[in-house]
Amino acid sequence: MTTAIDAGRFFQTDESIEQIERKSRKSANTFGEPLKLGSKLLAIEAAGQRVVYVAEAAGSVSEIRLSTNDISRSPRGPAAPLTCVALCRTTEATRVFAGCWDKSIWSYVPPNGARVQPQITSFAAHADFVKCVAVVPTPDKQTILISGGADGDVRLWTLDGKALGKISPKCRAIESIVLDPMSSAEAPVVFFSTSQREIFQMAIPPLAAISSSALQLSAPIVVHETSVYKMVFDADGDLWTASADKTAKHLVRENGWQSDTVLPHPDFVRDVAVHDKYGLVITACRDEEVRIWNASSGQLVHIFTGHYEEVTGLALAEDLLLSVSIDGTLRRWSLAPVDLQKAIKEASDPDLAKDVPEPDTDLSMLTAEEEAELRAMMEGEEASVMEAMAKDEQ
């Protein structure tokens, strides 16, 4: 008797079956001390050296204490994946904001040891998926929220969700928003990137002066062929970018944001991080790998292998590198020179790959319907990127 599973396998290609089996075998590895969460992980943000927050496809934000692996989750609010996370930290509390597939921005304040159950709230934000959020200051020392959506809008909000203004750079989607650390407190500037390859700058007006008509964009910075997924500034105020054109690049401020370093990858580059103390750049790739590069020379230093699905996010907690993935695991890698050299040596020793434990397939993920929807969204985005590159729409 043929089961539904057997029938499903019958229609799979040899390549897809091989991929499933490969990922099943690879899932057994313990590289990076994997911490398994309850669903696919789409973004991560560090709150100092002890705590990180992870946006999950199951619709919650997980607070993870790195020293103990204790996990506390936000109250269940959204019934759709959370795509991004941003923190508003004060001396009193940390407020967590997360963008969602349901076109809303959700927020809550973690209990911080209190027994009071935290409340989660939301407000409608975009006409399509919310793809990125950032907490930024205004010139008059207020704090606002900026979001970017798959609708191509950049929108500004009070922390309580009151709309302040929006600007539309006529692109398919906004991918990343970062505050320029070299801009002054009296004139803060944010950078945001699009799915059509442009990077724009925008000055933030005082709170009372923010309106759609007051928002102005710079001329675009164009150094990539297509989507710029992430951006991060280094200690010199230069910009590192991660793109679907399979590169990460270093854009030099003093040279008008021209690129002087290109880090090639075999697939889309999803995230980028910089460890200034050790002169390292870290990239997350769709090919499941985390790469460590020398920031000055652009030379590949090491590849951390462990994830068995696409790596979606990176965060730094001093010398500790955290990575999250569609495989539902958070992994940690030490960048301390002694530990990194040890990792490089071990990677060159084939004997260390022996005695791999049996795969642990008991990982609670999304329902089959939700997983198919998530994969369809990501593949749809990738297909649009490749189509745009083919047609040279940029």
Torsions phi, psi for 5 (to 5 deg): -65, -45
Residue predicted with more confidence, 29 or 147: 147
Distance of CA 350 to the CA centre of its chain: 32
Q: What is the pLDDT of residues 107-136, one digit of tens each?
A: 999 886 655 677 899 999 999 999 999 999
Residue predicted with more confidence, 388 or 362: 388
List Cβ neighbours of 230 (8 Å cut-off, separation of 6 or more).
175, 176, 193, 241, 242, 269, 270, 271, 272
The percent of residues in the chain predicted with pLDDT above 70, rounded, is 82
Residue 1 lies in a domain: no
**CATH number, domain containing residue 87:** 2.130.10.10
What per-residue confidence (pLDDT) applies to 241?
98
- pLDDT over threshold 70, residue 354: no
Structure tokens at 111: 């209990």
What per-residue confidence (pLDDT) applies to 362?
43
Grade residue 242 by pLDDT with cuts at 50, 70 and 90.
Answer: very high
Mean pLDDT of the chain: 88
Residue 369 lies in a domain: yes
Q: What is the pLDDT of residues 70-121, one digit of tens each?
A: 999 898 888 899 999 999 988 778 899 999 999 999 999 988 665 567 789 9
Grade residue 383 by pLDDT with cuts at 50, 70 and 90.
Answer: low
Edge to edge, the sheet with strand 280-285 lists: 269-275, 280-285, 290-294, 300-304
Residue 73 lies in a domain: yes
Residue 5 lies in a domain: no
Residue 46 lies in a domain: yes
What per-residue confidence (pLDDT) applies to 392?
43
Task: Say how many domains are in the chain.
Answer: 1
What per-residue confidence (pLDDT) applies to 390?
47
Segment 310-337 shows an average pLDDT of: 97
Residue 20 lies in a domain: no
Grade residue 369 by pLDDT with cuts at 50, 70 and 90.
Answer: low
Residue 211 lies in a domain: yes
- pLDDT over threshold 70, residue 350: no
Segment 178-205 shows an average pLDDT of: 97
Segment 296-322 shows an average pLDDT of: 97
The percent of residues in the chain predicted with pLDDT above 90, rounded, is 73
List, in sequence order, every beta strand (DSSP E) within 48-197: 51-56, 61-65, 70-73, 82-89, 94-100, 104-108, 120-124, 130-137, 143-149, 154-157, 163-167, 174-179, 189-194
Grade residue 379 by pLDDT with cuts at 50, 70 and 90.
Answer: low
What per-residue confidence (pLDDT) applies to 25?
80
Residue 69 lies in a domain: yes
- pLDDT over threshold 60, residue 170: yes
The domain containing residue 339 runs over which residues? 39-347+363-391
Structure tokens at 172: 């398919």
Segment 207-218 shows an average pLDDT of: 96
96 within 8 A of 87, measured Cβ to Cβ: yes
* Exposed / middle / buried, residue 169 (Cβ in 10 Å: 0-12, 13-18, 19+): middle
What per-residue confidence (pLDDT) applies to 115?
59
